[in-house]
Amino acid sequence: MSLIDDLYSKINNLRAGINSNNAKIERLKTVKSEIKEDKELIEGYKKRWSDNICAPLAEDTTWYGNNKNKVVECATDGVSAEYTTFINNTDQVLDAICDKITQLENQNAEWLGIIGDCYSAINNLLNEIEKACN
């Protein structure tokens, strides 16, 4: 029954791989959730920066000249752009995490199919053994 033992061993190895993938998936989902929260926080900072700093600076009628223009430009183009870059980079990280989760889930589905094939092979072998013993 060495072939059957080999098939059971393969099933156990695949199950271990699935368990390992499931643990990775859970960790990735946790990290994804935390990154989403951080992204939302940064989006809030960006909005508050725009609403509370940039807009009032630009609308201030008591200050004129090149210095004001430079400060307004720095506040709107510099800092706001950095927030946007951070948010876009965060989106790329979230996309990569989603891709990895999907890859691991697909691998699990493939391995479950192989496990099913192994069980079918075991059943067929046991059936043949039983028929040979009749």
**pLDDT score, position 57:** 76
The mean of the pLDDT values for the chain is: 91
Domain boundaries, the chain: 2-133
**pLDDT score, position 106:** 98
* Average pLDDT score over residue span 104-122: 97
Residue in 100, 120, 130 with CA at minimum distance from that of residue 21: 100
**pLDDT score, position 19:** 98
Residue 68 has pLDDT above 90, yes or no: no
Contact call for residues 3 and 124 (beta carbons, < 8 A):
no
Distance CA(14)–CA(115), nearest Å, equals 7
Distance CA(102)–CA(24), nearest Å, equals 11
Q: What is the value of pTM for the model shown? A: 0.80
What's the token pair of residue 131?
């028929």
Which residues fall within 8 angstroms of residue 119, CB to CB, at 6 or more apart? 11
